[in-house]
Amino acid sequence: MLVIPLLAIALVLIMNVIPWYTNKQRRRKETSSRMWMRTLVFVALIAIVWWALFMPWINKDWVSDVEVVNSEGTAGTAYIAYYPGRSTFAKDVADAFVTGLVDNGWRCEITTASSQAPTNLDRYDLVALVSPTYMLQPAGRVTRYVGKLDLGGKDVVIISSGLFSTKQAATSLAERVRAAGGNPIQTVEVKTGAGMAGMVNPRDVAREAGAAVPLP
């Protein structure tokens, strides 16, 4: 998502700088400082519009029911909370992680990290948090949700998704989990640019991470 405003800013710079530089008459009429001031105004407008369109999506309270997967599972009960963001990517990753758990006999309950999500997690053997990366940090809804929890030493898996800075976001979320009394046992980074050369399918990464979780 960050690519869009960067491309727009680059286009504004090209449209302003090249004509000014190549046109001698224009350089005489317009100082470089005025040209750059106009460019900065355009850049600021692009940033404001982009922020206005983007912010509602990364702050929305996505409320959903708790979905039970593999209700007959006997290996243990896992709770998975995810923040969907602007697409189905986080949900797809969370579902893939659940698939890996179910393959080992886990009973899973999955929902969104919303204001209505459960805060009493005493009956779960494992907690997993799936969060997109926004501005180098995990989703605000996820961090606020973790702040309401008393994890009481429970094992927690952190799945951080994004194109860049997933490691920093995962580290930040792990610190919040520890502050809530949780024990981060696994940090998983999945990249949204899976179609790019050399990148592993993020669903495969999430499924394998679920399969690798030790039984309680």
pTM: 0.75
For the chain, the first-to-last Cα distance in angstroms comes to 39
| Range 56-69 average pLDDT | 86
> Domain spans of the chain?
3-59, 67-212
pLDDT tens sequence across 23-60: 555 545 555 566 566 666 666 666 655 555 555 666 78
Q: Which two tokens stand for residue 101?
A: 């758990």
Lowest-confidence pick of 4-18, 93-107, 164-178, 201-215: 4-18
> Which has the higher per-residue pLDDT, 52 or 185?
185
Is the separation of the CB atoms in 192 and 89 below 8 Å?
yes
Distance CA 17, CA 211 (A): 54
pLDDT grade for 87, boundaries at 50, 70 and 90: confident
Is the separation of the CB atoms in 82 and 129 below 8 Å?
yes
- Percent helix, strand and coil across the chain, each rounded to 5? 45, 20, 30
| Range 51-80 average pLDDT | 85
CATH match for 67-212 among 3.40.50.360, 3.30.450.20, 3.30.70.1070, 3.40.50.1370: 3.40.50.360
